[in-house]
Amino acid sequence: MRGGGARRRPALLRSVSAATPTVQARPPLWRNVRVLRWAFQAVFLLGVALFLLYLWGNLTGNLERLGIRTDFRYLRQPAGFAIPDSDFRSSQNVFQALLVGAKNTATVAFLGILLATLLGVIVGVARLSTNWLVRRTAALYVESLRNVPVLIIIIFWWAGILLRLPPLDEGSDVFGVLSISNRGLVLPSLERTSGIGVFLVALALTAAAAAAVAVWRTRRFDATGEPHRRVLWAGGVLLVGLTLAFLASGRPLGLSLPEQSQFSTAGGFRFNPEFAALLIALVLYTASHIAEIVRGSILAVSSGQSEAASALGLSGFQRLRYVVLPQAFRISVPPVGNQYLNLTKNSSLGIAIGYYEMTRVTGISISQGGPAPQAILVLMLFYLCFSLFIALVTGLINRRLEIKAR
């Protein structure tokens, strides 16, 4: 607002002192600050527009001269490459390939955010432990991972660890539940059979019942003060309901265990090495940053709060759970949201190890003759959508949590 006060007085004063108070001399056009401000902004915008036009002109000229298309119709052309571990075939078009890439990016980002938050909070709390050894271990973890490029961590997990695991035929399954080999990790997964619809309805009803019980216990606690134990109650209802529904609907879910043959595994949920390496590296790296934020936020909660909780006789865990962490959480939401954004953007480094996320799909489509400027622009738009979505979500959480000040 610096120039805002510049609707200057001197002109007015001059007119007053000039003994002709009836005529308000307006400043000439070239001294009128309001006009000057408009003129400056118009010139600025014109300059920016001209610069962009110049770039655009160069771009189209160069592309045409080289015989590269200048529109976005390449998105509708057949991709010409297949994506492993998906239904995508090479006859589908580039845009659909990008959507598969976006789905893969979203998978890594979503799982990564969940796991990194979990690990980050644990390590952040551990850094403030009263136990010297725990404290130092957490510090060692944070300081060693935070200061190394995430790309190196990704490549290290991929080339240095996961690809060096023993091959499939050398007996790499753990109790028949987990299969670990250089082909990837296979975890047990749920497999649905017939009767799933009935089961899902029963599941919804059970969940509603559990919620109702939790509310009832809370009300009871508010009214009488007897211990509410709502988690125990609701959990019990959920467990009993689940078992009944499961048996009543004819066991609609089965456990699918990894079965190994010499060259492949069947059943279970399979992480290929690229996905596993990217996920593990992103989680470890981001968790080290989140841990620092959590530590800082806990330290930022005034120590009087913690002391007051102790004075009330809360145990160490209760103090953390009910007094310190809720307040620390509020402080840490914006920076942790930033870390979520970083994790999502860093998932683009999957290209270095050949994980089929958006960046790699774009890279391949360029190498197959797609027009580079448009392809990268579309890629940027995809990432902007992701960033916007995460920013919106964290913004909403932040708005709900922030202290309502008057």
* Interaction between residue 197 and other proteins (CB under 8 A): no
* Interaction between residue 311 and other proteins (CB under 8 A): no
Q: Which residue of 5, 21, 171, 225 would you call a contact of other proteins, by CB under 8 A?
A: 5
Q: Please list, in sequence order, all residues whose beta carbon lies within 8 angstroms of the beta carbon of residue 69, skipping any fewer than 6 positions away.
A: 63, 371
Cα 1 from chain centroid (whole Å): 36
* Interaction between residue 164 and other proteins (CB under 8 A): yes
In order, the DSSP letters of 93-134 are: BHHHHHHHHHHHHHHHHHHHHHHHHHHHHHHHHHTT-SSHHH
Q: Which residue of 20, 24, 62, 264 would you call a contact of other proteins, by CB under 8 A?
A: 62
The nearest distance, CB 55 to other proteins, in angstroms, is 5
As a whole number of angstroms, the distance between CA 243 and CA 188 comes to 20
* Interaction between residue 147 and other proteins (CB under 8 A): yes
Q: Which positions from 371 through 400 interact with other proteins, judged by CB under 8 A? A: 372-373, 376-377, 379-380, 383-384, 387-388
Q: Which residue of 8, 26, 34, 146 would you call a contact of other proteins, by CB under 8 A?
A: 146
Of the chain, the end-to-end C-alpha distance in Å amounts to 25
Query: Which residue lies nearer to other proteins by CB, 260 or 286?
Result: 286
Stretch that binds other proteins, among 202-210, 268-276, 303-311, 357-365 (CB under 8 A): 357-365
* Interaction between residue 2 and other proteins (CB under 8 A): yes
* Interaction between residue 3 and other proteins (CB under 8 A): yes
* Interaction between residue 150 and other proteins (CB under 8 A): yes
86: DSSP letter: S
As a whole number of angstroms, the distance between CA 250 and CA 195 comes to 7
In order, the DSSP letters of 168-235 are: GGGT-EETTTEEEETTEEEE-EEEE-TTHHHHHHHHHHHHHHHHHHHHHHHHHHHHH-----HHHHHH
Nearest to 270 by CA among 189, 349, 173: 189
Nearest to 350 by CA among 244, 243, 275, 241: 275
Query: Which residue lies nearer to other proteins by CB, 279 or 349?
Result: 349
321, 333 in Cβ contact below 8 A?
Answer: no
* Interaction between residue 318 and other proteins (CB under 8 A): no
The nearest distance, CB 58 to other proteins, in angstroms, is 5
* Interaction between residue 12 and other proteins (CB under 8 A): no
Residues that bind other proteins (CB under 8 A): 1-5, 37, 40-42, 44-45, 48, 55, 58-59, 61-63, 65, 129-134, 137, 143-144, 146-153, 155-156, 159-160, 164, 345-346, 348-349, 351-352, 359, 362-363, 366, 372-373, 376-377, 379-380, 383-384, 387-388
